[in-house]
Amino acid sequence: MKSTCLTICLSTLALAACAVPTHEQPRDISAPADCPKDWTTLWASDSRVKQLSVELRQELTTLRDERRTNKDLDKNPELKAKVDDFNRRATQWYATSAYAILKDPSPEMYSISQTHDSADRNIDISTNQNMRILTDDWNRFWLWGFPSMLSPTPIMDTSGQPR
């Protein structure tokens, strides 16, 4: 009996410890996860650059050349504004491209039927129940869940709860 309780307790503890969500939270779908912060740092052969329109690729080449001559963007606020505007437009173009959409057509879903929030909620509820069950099992294992009935004289139940 005790070995069964101990096995159940240890199994429950192991399962409760493993119930930590390891997924990342949903992200802003207007900026895919593989979208760079600064497009001017990418090579022309990068697959993400190839998804941009021809005009944006030409503008990227021009901006890249300007950045080579002016290494420090903080000293040139005009160029910084151009780069920031280009990064915003390139990210918007990339996020709405068929390439980015087909890579992750349902970014808000964690599994087939659950969003990230509902999966987290289910994990939290299961962990809570498992920990309460573990507490009950632990108390029964150490015989703390109820008083001993081994006394030679009858003991009156003072808890008020029927057994």
Model pLDDT, residue 56: 92
Q: Which DSSP string corresponds to 80-106?
A: HHHHHHHHHHHHHHHHTSHHHHHH-S-
Model pLDDT, residue 132: 95
Per-domain residue ranges of the chain: 39-103
Q: In order along the chain (163 residues), what is the average pLDDT of each group of 10 residues?
A: 63 56 56 82 88 91 86 81 91 83 74 85 94 92 76 68 61
Model pLDDT, residue 2: 61
